[in-house]
Structure 1
Amino acid sequence: MKVSYQWLQEYLDLPENPADLAERIARTSVDINDVYSPSDGLTKLVVGYVDSIKPHPDSDHLAICQVNTGADELVQIVCGAPNVVAGKNVIVALPGARIGDNVKIKRSKMRGELSEGMICALQEIGFSEQIAPKAYDEGIWFLPDDAVPGESIFPYLGMDDTIIDTDVTPNRGDMFSMLGNVNDIAAFYGLTSKFKSLPVHENKAQQTDQLISAEIKDQNIAPTYKLRVISDIQIKDSPLWLQIRLWNAGIRPINNVVDVTNYILLKYGQPLHSFDYDKLPAKNIGVRFAQDNEPFTTLDEDKRELSSDDIVVTAGDRPVALAGTMGGLETAISNQTTTVALESAVFNPILVRKQARRHDLHSESSSRFERGINPETVETALNEAAELIDQLGEGKVATGIVTGSERKVAPVKITLTLQRINHVLGTQLSNTEINDIFKRLAFGCDESDGSFLVTVPARRGDISIEADLLEEIARIYGYDNLPATLPAQTSNIGGLSQRQSSLRASRHALEGLGLNQAISYSLTTVEEAQQFEIVRHSDPMKLDYPMSQDHVATRMSLISGLLTDIAYNTARKQVDVNLYEQGRIFIPVGKNKRPQEQEHLAGAITGEFSTKTWNNESQEADFYLIKGIVERYLANMAIKNPISFVASSERPEMHPGRTANILIGDELIGYVGQIHPQMAKKYKIAATYVFELNFDQIMAEPKKPRHYQSISKYPTITRDIALLVDDEITNEAILEVINAKGGAYLTDVTLFDVYEGAHLPAHKKSLAYTLTYQDKQGTLVEDKVNQAFDKVVKQLTDKLQVEVR
């Protein structure tokens, strides 16, 4: 909530400046987002009186104005505002002034005519489009007639105020009002509040219950519901003091009726709603659950389809408002309104919160209803609003209040002892000090022999147990005043668990292989949640109340998030991207059951994996590169069982000829390959290569007991062999035969040449390998190498029918 310091000063004799007050609020009550003045960054903005205007000789929309900016000094300013007229006080930025967005104003010529400054609209001096009055959207703002030319504009527009922007937590709904802030600040400073309510003056000639009726059948929806009627109203602009109150709080002034309801909302934290009485379909008001698919148009002109979980205010049986959230367009206040039905109520906070989230319609009213309304000020706020509408609209308030429902709230009574207080807080407080704290909080307190029976006012719905009262005592006494003690020390030595160590080692391995870590959202669309799964599952788990349409389901793969990251980078001309993500996916296991969480690991590369330098060529991302990264990673994880890559074409999101399943033994743990070109087109990215692994399965695999070998000091012997093989024979099949029959001294097999061309028979290819032999205990002799090599050649020809070239 944006709290006006000047408004606070009307109710409290504040001992500190705004910055110190904000710091005290942050330490005692709620967090502070910002402390600022609307005039920050603005200079040389003064009142100017338009003495005369004439058309610009070379323009059909510009006017030349003679403006008095003080001491009867006239300056010439060229202005393009359509509403500029003589005889009005306006906002003038003098040469050298700084206006909104830090724009500097200079003397200049506009189509040949000198302009010594600028006549400004509110938006040009920093007012946002959301709070500037709509009547002045296209033109300049007129200052009051009694404004003195040459004086600063800031006091006239409330821009000399300081705004303390508080971040109200869900439990402190009372701090969403000036009354709540005044009560809390008075408590921790020990001040006397001068907060006053405005009494209502009723017209005895009219009785409210003869004009309108209200009946709430389900008080769980609306525990309190009250109405007043004000007639013979003139709809017009609110006085400037009221508009300043609103726009400094971030609310746009509309007209005197709507502005009063917003003013009362700020003052008491009590949302009100004003209906055009004559537009109500019937004069009997109720509150009920909506019907499924029931149509309703809200004030923002959005046509909505309601559900049976929504709550609506009805006239007759027709909806006229989304209860606690937003009114209906059909009964909105307009310039033709003469009679107003004014509503003040308490609605079920849980129903309002869910309704606001369901319709993505978070209003000033719903924000307060969600946190809980003070039932003690429902009628007070209604009376003051009716009186202000009467005064500002020259209307008549009908006698009496129509009450549809009113649930009396029993005060919360809590007992605690002085001994308990001092034990928990570590203090040495006395009975007198405790009594003083509760008096400052305006809590009822009966003390007897060190035992306190505390009556909590209804405005503090966040206090219900002893611990809540202990917190109140601590914060009013001052957290800084609580004695400090060192925590008890233990002799336990901290360290990472085995799982934490493995996760960290996994990240280090992938970063060492050239990938950068990415963190994606766990929530996504239903379509993306079902893409790129290692094992196909049922539909993903969906959220009942998603915050946006892009985050409605839990992910079942990490790759979609990485592709979104690549698309984000590609759109910003970063086409060489190498990413990995380590995170959890969520597998549904049944209705109303918690999903199974699996730790997965995924990577994605596109563009150049390494850039060209003076001594190295660049390396483009391809299938063999991503497969090599996966192989090296799995080797680093020291998996004991054999790892294999099996060609796969059943994954619709992946390229059918460049994808392989990854198996440990016979168990599928992931896959690697190129995403399908149609999928790359959908994400608007270039050819991209990905992999995904089930990290939990990798962790569960037995590991090699010794993940290193000593380097042999003895020489190696190599043999080269070129094989003519059929197209369908894979490199993996050949390596399997060589490694199986290579003997004890075979240490490495490297494929160094692949050839397919016109000089070979049809459907044949040539593969050339280097076999490396080494005895780690002594010098290897040629005869042993030849024997082992001959066994390999024989096995290749017998088992795979290859031809040695």
Structure 2
Amino acid sequence: MFVSYKWLQDYVDLSGINATELADKITKSGIEVEGVEKKSEGLKGVVIGHVIEREQHPNADKLNKCQVDIGAENPVQIICGAPNVDKGQKVAVATVGAVLPGNFKIKKAKLRGEESHGMICSLQELGFESKLVSKDYATGIFVFPDDVEVGKDALEELGLSDEVLELGLTPNRSDALSMLGVAYEVGAILGREVKWPVVEKEESTEKATDYISVKVEAKEDNPVYIAKIIKDVKIGPSPLWMQTRLMSAGIRPHNNVVDITNYILLEYGQPLHAFDYDRFGSKEIVVRRAKDAEKIVTLDEAERTLTPAHLVITNGSEPVAIAGVMGGADSEVKNDTTNIILESAYFAGTVVRKASKDHGLRSEASARFEKGVDPARVREAGERAAQLIARYAGGTVLQGTAEVDELTMEPAVISITLEKINKLLGTDMTVTEVESIFNRLKFGVDLDNETFTITVPTRRGDITIEADLVEEAARLYGYDNIPTTLPIGAAIPGHLTDYQMKRRKARRTLEGAGLYQAVTYSLTSEEKASQFALEARESIGLAMPISEERSQLRLSIVPQLLEVVKYNNARQLDSLALYEIGSVFFKTEDQELPEEKEHIAGAITGLWESHPWQGEKKPVDFFVAKGVIEALFDTLGLADQISYRQAQINDMHPGRTAEVLLNGDVIGFIGQVHPTVQKDLDIKETYIFELSLKALAEAEVAPIAYETIPRYPSTTRDIALVVDQATKAGDIQNIIGEAGGKLLKEVTIFDLYEGERMEEGKKSIAYSLKYYDPERTLTDEDITKAHEKVLEAVKEKAGAELRG
């Protein structure tokens, strides 16, 4: 809904508040103002000029040389190419130095040898959209009415000095689809009165009922239909002020009668329609449902096929309009129209929407009927339109109306207590404050002690229950004034538990490492149910399985991930990295429901990195998978509590599999799928892991500790130790760490040798040891003393010898 700031001033006093401030207040009260557009932003120097003389340009067939009075001491010469420019016209002139939209500056020019001091403008050149410009001026300059003053600011006369507020209305606020509706809203916000247009009836002695009768067959769809007859109208342009208001609201001007019906639609929110009485085809109006396959040619010259789901206005035999959507071409008001039927009616929103949707006709009228118009304004809107047609089209309004009125819509009456309003809002408003809010909204208020009985006017059809009244009280009281409170309770809504937070961290870490989340079935076959299970427990079978492949609840997630790998490999997606956080299920003896635990599992295959341009390829191996879960442990703050040990697990590679331990307890495994299993599944070398999320999430995490950056240098010593083939590198690393004492800060493995020069049954493992003291520079004596302890320890506890 586009709202003209100056037009709004006709209905409510806006003194002391500009358009931007008003927009802010409307937004804070619950209706979002999406923008405020100042039409003349950046424009200047455009005045009304009078074309005194026009003659053909001596050197150009399509140019005219005009002498134009712009209110200055002397007329100016302007070269104009518009086909409709002529002597005697009053036009918009951009003078030398003027600025037009797009920062286009007008300068003195010479066109084909003739000087031009300015530009005669079209509406498009002044910033109006082409679709909003009247057809009379769509391809040429705009011509003002004769009564405008030469030299006056043309932008002011064209309404471009106005500001337009764009309201983003929700479907329930159909009351604000009119200027009067917005005026009620603004009046409530500012605490000011709303001024209605004064409707003065000027009717002839002839009666409308002598010319037309109304019959409604579908009374549920059309409980009110009012027709007025206006004779001897003269079709012409509507007043300039009306045209500019319509264009500001996004409606194209046509002629005085059509423009007045559109003007009332914007002013009252009540759609109207004018029929040419002499082309109507009869002296009766019949409103009914359309017959099957009945046809009508609408105003857009399209022939439309109707169904009994559509409501039509007929002349007793032929449809002349689709009710609430669009009129027919045969009864359209044209330039030679002299007598009109003015329709003002209330149509049910459902039947209008059906026709609008079926025919793809979305109009300003249909939008209002769909959302709901105020039944109390139907009659008054018709009278106001008749008054304006008589004034600006010279028509004679016949006495009375031809009508059917069986509408029994009553205002909603709702009771609510002050206590309930304050309890729901968390406020401490007084009776006086609440009463003032409802009075400002122009609701009927009956106060009994602290109980309000509110009579809601029919214009606010969105208010039907107590909660609606509470919302009205809240928004007029001011959302900014409602106190902020924190929820109290053992479980605060919206707060993640520690477990949920760690699950989220785990998901983000794995996705950050390059793994995609998979969601697989919790149901599997009996054969796969216990495969790769962390706990040797009995699986649970379904009482009524849909198939044998989905007959058991899973004990492990890995088999389902391997199925995903198989599915993708079969479709030539060879490089894949997946993870899933999901539940596994264990049978219990004393409970009917299974025990449910959450696990994290992953499967990685193919290339981990590929840089063809550099000729680099890195296939997935054990250490890639191990690096992924180590990143997870580091994120959860458990890196220091994790250890690994070689393991033999069914269906896993015997030399590339390890158990994962948390503080000495097994919580999962990592390794390569056994080659025979890979062959059975027809997949390539694949590495998997599965961990207990419950164990990871419930583990105690040491508080974060910070150490100063060492100011003193460190010293590194490398040693290569010869040990038995069966000796584990990790065991030796632990021995070194314990023996090195507080000066030994890091121990890393950097080489393994098992070549032909090594004694049979032996291997060489090389370690890098870093020593430093944060408080001082270590001497060779300090380092040698600590290092000798390390060498003695590995010799005594692991039988290791320094490699010569």
Please give the range of the TM-score, normalised by the shorter of the 2 chains.
Answer: 0.5 to 0.7
Q: Structure 2 counterpart of 1:376, which letter? A: A
Q: Secondary structure at the match of 1:101?
A: coil
Q: Name the counterpart of 1:13.
A: 13
1:426 equivalent in alignment to 2:404 = no
Whether contact under 8 Å (1:639, 1:703) holds in the other structure is no
Distance 1:510 1:399, change over 3 A: farther
CA offsets 1:48-74 (integer angstroms, 9 cap, x no match) = 222222211111121111222232232
Q: Name the counterpart of 1:472.
A: 472
1:162 equivalent in alignment to 2:61 = no
Whether contact under 8 Å (1:639, 1:704) holds in the other structure is no
Cα shift at 1:149: 3.6
Within a 5 Å distance, the mapping from 1:398-477 to structure 2 comes to 398-477=398-477
Whether contact under 8 Å (2:229, 2:342) holds in the other structure is yes
Q: Name the counterpart of 1:101.
A: 102
Cα shift at 1:779: 7.7
1:51 equivalent in alignment to 2:52 = yes
Distance 1:470 1:748, change over 3 A: closer
Cα shift at 1:371: 1.3
Cα shift at 1:340: 0.7
Q: Structure 2 counterpart of 1:33, which letter? A: E
Q: Name the counterpart of 1:121.
A: 122
Whether contact under 8 Å (1:230, 1:339) holds in the other structure is yes
Within a 5 Å distance, the mapping from 1:306-317 to structure 2 comes to 306-317=306-317
Distance 1:775 1:257, change over 3 A: farther
Cα shift at 1:262: 0.6
Give, in whole Å, the separation in 1 of the partners of 2:77 and 2:85. 14
Q: Name the counterpart of 2:40.
A: 39
Task: Tell me which moved more, 173-182 or 27-36.
Answer: 27-36
1:191 equivalent in alignment to 2:192 = yes
Cα shift at 1:775: 11
Whether contact under 8 Å (2:97, 2:106) holds in the other structure is yes
Q: Structure 2 counterpart of 1:46, which letter? A: V
Give, in whole Å, the separation in 1 of the partners of 2:145 and 2:414. 54
Give, in whole Å, the separation in 2 of the partners of 1:99 and 1:162. 17
Cα shift at 1:144: 3.7
Cα shift at 1:107: 2.3
Give, in whole Å, the separation in 1 of the partners of 2:228 and 2:120. 44
Q: Percent of aligned positions with the same letter in both sequences?
A: 40
Task: Tell me which moved more, 206-215 or 92-101.
Answer: 92-101
Distance 1:776 1:148, change over 3 A: farther
Give, in whole Å, the separation in 1 of the partners of 2:50 and 2:397. 40
Distance 1:669 1:99, change over 3 A: same
Q: Secondary structure at the match of 2:10?
A: helix
Whether contact under 8 Å (1:414, 1:464) holds in the other structure is yes
Q: Name the counterpart of 1:368.
A: 368
Q: Secondary structure at the match of 2:131?
A: coil
Give, in whole Å, the separation in 1 of the partners of 2:515 and 2:70. 65
Give, in whole Å, the separation in 2 of the partners of 1:174 and 1:440. 16
1:672 equivalent in alignment to 2:673 = no
Q: Structure 2 counterpart of 1:213, which letter? A: S
Cα shift at 1:387: 1.6
Task: Tell me which moved more, 320-329 or 502-511.
Answer: 502-511
Give, in whole Å, the separation in 2 of the partners of 1:35 and 1:137. 26
Within a 5 Å distance, the mapping from 1:83-482 to structure 2 comes to 83-204=84-205, 206-482=206-482
Cα shift at 1:421: 2.2
Cα shift at 1:91: 0.9
Cα shift at 1:476: 2.0
Whether contact under 8 Å (1:220, 1:348) holds in the other structure is yes
Distance 1:740 1:177, change over 3 A: closer
Distance 1:94 1:482, change over 3 A: same
Within a 5 Å distance, the mapping from 1:772-783 to structure 2 comes to none
Q: Name the counterpart of 2:72.
A: 71
Whether contact under 8 Å (2:568, 2:574) holds in the other structure is no
**Normalized against structure 1, the TM-score is what?**
0.65
Q: Structure 2 counterpart of 1:256, which letter? A: N
Q: Secondary structure at the match of 1:50?
A: strand
Q: Name the counterpart of 2:665.
A: none
Distance 1:705 1:288, change over 3 A: same
Give, in whole Å, the separation in 2 of the partners of 1:775 and 1:302. 90
Give, in whole Å, the separation in 2 of the partners of 1:379 and 1:6. 26
Q: Name the counterpart of 1:530.
A: none
Q: Name the counterpart of 1:579.
A: none
Whether contact under 8 Å (2:108, 2:115) holds in the other structure is yes
Whether contact under 8 Å (2:582, 2:599) holds in the other structure is no
Give, in whole Å, the separation in 2 of the partners of 1:274 and 1:323. 13
Q: Structure 2 counterpart of 1:135, which letter? A: D
Q: Secondary structure at the match of 1:330?
A: coil
Distance 1:692 1:332, change over 3 A: farther
Cα shift at 1:237: 1.0
Q: Structure 1 counterpart of 2:140, which letter? A: G
Cα shift at 1:175: 0.5
Q: Structure 2 counterpart of 1:257, which letter? A: V
Distance 1:114 1:444, change over 3 A: same
Cα shift at 1:18: 0.9
Give, in whole Å, the separation in 2 of the partners of 1:214 and 1:8. 36
CA offsets 1:146-194 (integer angstroms, 9 cap, x no match) = 4444332112111111111112221111101111111111112111222
Q: Structure 1 counterpart of 2:403, which letter? A: T
- Unaligned ranges ≥5, structure 1: 514-636, 645-661, 674-688, 715-735, 750-773, 783-805
Cα shift at 1:638: 8.5
Q: Secondary structure at the match of 2:192?
A: coil
Q: Structure 1 counterpart of 2:311, which letter? A: I
Cα shift at 1:41: 2.2
Give, in whole Å, the separation in 2 of the partners of 1:388 and 1:35. 30
Whether contact under 8 Å (2:557, 2:582) holds in the other structure is no
Q: Secondary structure at the match of 1:428?
A: coil
Q: Secondary structure at the match of 1:329?
A: coil
Within a 5 Å distance, the mapping from 1:587-736 to structure 2 comes to 639-640=558-559, 664=566, 672=571, 709=622
Distance 1:509 1:111, change over 3 A: farther
Cα shift at 1:330: 1.6
Q: Structure 1 counterpart of 2:475, which letter? A: R
Cα shift at 1:29: 4.1
Task: Tell me which moved more, 460-469 or 319-328.
Answer: 319-328
Cα shift at 1:199: 2.3
Whether contact under 8 Å (1:29, 1:184) holds in the other structure is no
Give, in whole Å, the separation in 1 of the partners of 2:254 and 2:123. 15
Distance 1:286 1:504, change over 3 A: farther
Distance 1:508 1:303, change over 3 A: farther
Give, in whole Å, the separation in 1 of the partners of 2:342 and 2:185. 29
Give, in whole Å, the separation in 1 of the partners of 2:66 and 2:480. 59
Q: Structure 1 counterpart of 2:450, which letter? A: G
Give, in whole Å, the separation in 2 of the partners of 1:261 and 1:203. 21
Cα shift at 1:331: 1.1
* RMSD across aligned positions (CA): 3.8
1:82 equivalent in alignment to 2:86 = no
Cα shift at 1:129: 1.2
Cα shift at 1:463: 0.6
Give, in whole Å, the separation in 1 of the partners of 2:574 and 2:330. 55
Residue correspondences, number = 575
Distance 1:775 1:139, change over 3 A: farther
Q: Structure 2 counterpart of 1:356, which letter? A: S
Cα shift at 1:669: 7.4
Task: Tell me which moved more, 296-305 or 133-142.
Answer: 296-305
Distance 1:775 1:120, change over 3 A: farther
Give, in whole Å, the separation in 1 of the partners of 2:195 and 2:397. 27
Give, in whole Å, the separation in 2 of the partners of 1:242 and 1:706. 70
Give, in whole Å, the separation in 2 of the partners of 1:422 and 1:698. 45
Whether contact under 8 Å (1:671, 1:691) holds in the other structure is no
Give, in whole Å, the separation in 2 of the partners of 1:134 and 1:58. 30
Q: Secondary structure at the match of 2:66?
A: strand
